[in-house]
Structure 1
Amino acid sequence: MLDKKVKELINEQITWEFYSAYLYLDFANYYYDQGLDGFAHWYDVQAQEERDHAMLMRQYLINNGERVTFGEVAKPDKTYNGLGDPLKAGLEHEQYVTSLINKIYKAADDVDDYRTMQCFDWFVKEQGEEEKNADDLIKKFKLFGSDPKALYALDQELMARVYAAPTLTL
């Protein structure tokens, strides 16, 4: 049985992961509207990853005999005044999610819950990758976004992103 606080934080995180998927689908919708299908595709893949993170956490709770409770998933309320706005919002969001993952890890550490810490080692590493990817995308956009030909090339590069299911063993 998991510590009550750890279980509650993981349940809350499941909702945040589903929100992340909604947020990234909202980014994708914006980019589809702008005719940047590669950017949209990149965020469609990102949304799938976030959904899978939620499902992994759900399965972790189930595997540990805990009840999964879903919270309400908020509607994304971002407004975009330029093509770079979703990119910046994405990095800020990933940094926030990192803080939430760290909070779970700390709560598990406080009660010597090594099993949860071992599981969340993967999420800690994943968040580092998520932040780097978001930051790299911002850097590329700053370099190429003002040149239509370079923006087109970047859009094509992003269209090539392939979804890879996570390989975390619970």
Structure 2
Amino acid sequence: MIKLEMAQALNEQINREMYSAYLYMSMSAYSGKLGLKGFANWFMVQYHEEMYHAMKLYEYIQRQGEEVILGTLEGPPSTFESPLDMFNQTLTHEQYITKSINDLMDMAIKMKDHGTQIFLEWYVVEQIEEEENDNDMILQLNLIGDNAHALLMLDRELSGRMTTVPVDFSKGVEGAVA
């Protein structure tokens, strides 16, 4: 069982993860509107990953005997300057999420909550990957610049990204993985 303060902080993280999903869904919709179906796909895959992150927290809180409390989500932006702008915003957002995860880990360490520390290690590693992916995309988009042909080639490449996390949580996160 975890302390109420930890449960509250984890509930807040659920909302951050849900907002992340909401943000990436918005970026997917905007990319689709521009005719960049590969970018739309990349962001929709990211949406599914963020929902998985939220569901892992949701189930952890419940398994610890605490109440899941969902808060209100702020609406994400619906327009962006360019694909580069979307990825710059994505990186900034993921850096915010990384700080949030690190703060949760610090709290778990301070509380000597070893179970939550072990649980959060997965998120620490995941955030390294998230920021690396965003940095890679920013580097590629900076190389492309205003080259429409190169942008379309990247768009085609991004259309091949596949969801690697479960998307049906009707049997829970663990049931979806099995």
Q: Give me the TM-score of the superposition, normalised by structure 1.
A: 0.94
How far apart, CA to CA, are the structure 1 residues paired with 2:118 and 2:19?
24
Residue 144 (structure 1) aligned with residue 144 (structure 2): yes
- Contact 1:28/1:39 (8 A) holds in 2: yes
Question: Any stretches of 5+ residues in structure 1 without a counterpart?
Answer: none
Aligned residues: 168
The alpha carbon displacement at 1:111 in A equals: 0.8
Query: What is the SS of the residue equivalent to 1:84?
Result: helix
| One-letter code aligned to 1:66 | E
Aligned equivalent of 1:36: 36
The alpha carbon displacement at 1:54 in A equals: 0.3
Aligned equivalent of 1:48: 48
Question: Any stretches of 5+ residues in structure 2 without a counterpart?
Answer: 167-172
The alpha carbon displacement at 1:100 in A equals: 0.6
Root-mean-square deviation (CA, aligned residues, Å) is 1.4
For residues 44-123 of structure 1, what are the structure 2 equivalents within 5 Å? 44-77=44-77, 79-123=79-123
How far apart, CA to CA, are the structure 2 residues paired with 1:78 and 1:165?
25
The sequence identity of aligned pairs, in percent, is 39
How far apart, CA to CA, are the structure 2 residues paired with 1:143 and 1:98?
26
Cα deviations across residues 76-124 of structure 1 (Å, max 9, x unaligned)? Answer: 1364223311110000000000011011111000010010000100000
How far apart, CA to CA, are the structure 1 residues paired with 2:29 and 2:84?
14
- Contact 1:144/1:154 (8 A) holds in 2: no
Q: Give me the TM-score of the superposition, normalised by structure 2.
A: 0.90
The alpha carbon displacement at 1:6 in A equals: 1.2
Over 4 Å off, 4+ runs: none
The alpha carbon displacement at 1:68 in A equals: 0.4
How far apart, CA to CA, are the structure 1 residues paired with 2:82 and 2:158?
18
How far apart, CA to CA, are the structure 1 residues paired with 2:27 and 2:53?
19
How far apart, CA to CA, are the structure 2 residues paired with 1:100 and 1:108?
12
Cα deviations across residues 4-58 of structure 1 (Å, max 9, x unaligned)? Answer: 2211110000011010000001111111111111011000000000001000000
| One-letter code aligned to 1:72 | T
- Contact 1:5/1:107 (8 A) holds in 2: no
